[in-house]
Structure 1
Amino acid sequence: MQTNDTHSSVRFKTGRPTVTPAATAALELAKVPDILVLARHIHGDWGDLGERDCLQNELAVLLELRIVSRYVLLTGSVIQVVTEADRSATTILVCDDY
């Protein structure tokens, strides 16, 4: 999993962070700390999203809408990070959980 230094500061509040059991297992298998995935998300590195979805996230940060990032691990697992519009919670999950 590569990192992109898109922004150097936290872009939005996460609320309560949660990691699903499947995401924990996938991240452990790939040897990627969940805190790294969360850090990329809150700093505006949206991961493996297309340009349109990245622009939608930029708008979501400004308008306090739901924000979704997507990261493909070296093992092939796909992790999503979802911050709710009200910023009450951020969930790290495997796409199959969603």
Structure 2
Amino acid sequence: MTTHAANQVKPVQPLFALGRTLATPGALVVMQGMGISPIALLSRHQRGDWGELCAEDKRSNDEALKAGSRLFSAYRFDTVRLWIITEADRSVTTILLPEEY
């Protein structure tokens, strides 16, 4: 079967390295209970989909990409929020619940 180039989906390149990836116990329980893929969340974060942030916080993240500062994303699933934080040196990325911060 021949595939036309126009029909091929190119993967979106990550904007930054995640470093070591961690999740807090509370975040793991929530993700498992709700069927949320941590890989999918990390992928969104790494592609610059910052989730439910105000415009100013999204701009701050965009600037942090250039300056090498901390990156922050927030995602809502029903009444539950999950945060992802990548440290400024890109050595660690953590998925957590806001109350675990």
Q: Please, what TM-score do these two structures have when normalized by structure 1?
A: 0.89
What SS class does the counterpart of residue 15 from structure 2 fall into? coil
After TM superposition, what 4+ stretches of structure 1 lie above 6 angstroms from structure 2? Answer: none
Residue 91 (str. 1) matches residue 94 (str. 2): yes
The equivalent position to 1:81 in structure 2, one of 81, 84, 95, is: 84
- What are the equivalent positions in structure 2 for 1:12-23 lying under 5 Å apart? 12-23=16-27
Q: Please, what TM-score do these two structures have when normalized by structure 2?
A: 0.86
Over aligned residues, Cα RMSD in angstroms?
Answer: 1.2
Equivalents in 2 of 1:27, 1:51: separation in Å?
26
In the alignment, which residue of structure 2 is the partner of 1:56? 60
What is the aligned-residue identity percentage? Answer: 35
What SS class does the counterpart of residue 62 from structure 2 fall into? helix
For residues 31-84 of structure 1, what are the alpha-carbon distances to aligned partners after superposition, in whole Å with 9 as ceiling and x for unaligned? 11111111100010000001000000000011100000000113x111000000
The equivalent position to 2:37 in structure 1, one of 20, 33, 37, is: 33
Long gaps (5+) in structure 2: 1-10
The equivalent position to 1:8 in structure 2, one of 8, 12, 28, is: 12
How many residues are paired up? Answer: 91
CA shift, 1:8, in A, is 2.3
Equivalents in 1 of 2:57, 2:12: separation in Å?
20
Which 10-residue stretch deviates more, 85-94 or 24-33? Answer: 24-33
